[in-house]
Amino acid sequence: FSHLCARRVGEQLNQMIEEVPLTQADIDQIRQTLDKKIATNTIPCDCLPGQCHCHHAAESLE
């Protein structure tokens, strides 16, 4: 995900989960990982200065 702005990673993870076939064991493991994850209210844009193409630099995630 190094080619993506940090603010787009969650969106891409979700898209991957929707598109790929998963076993029940895969789903259980993903759920366990998410249960341990501590969410943040905002994720800063990490695009290079002047190179932001993600159009999320001024938004805050909700």
Residue by residue, pLDDT tens for the chain (62 residues) are: 777 888 889 999 999 999 999 999 999 999 999 999 999 999 888 888 877 776 654 554 44
What is residue 56's predicted lDDT score, i.e. its pLDDT? Answer: 53
What is residue 10's predicted lDDT score, i.e. its pLDDT? Answer: 93
Q: Judge if pTM exceeds 0.85.
A: no
CB contact at 8 A, 42 and 62: no
The Cα 51–Cα 44 span in angstroms is: 15
* N- to C-terminal Cα separation, the chain: 21
Domain coordinates in residue numbering, the chain: 1-62
The Cα 22–Cα 13 span in angstroms is: 13
What is residue 57's predicted lDDT score, i.e. its pLDDT? Answer: 46
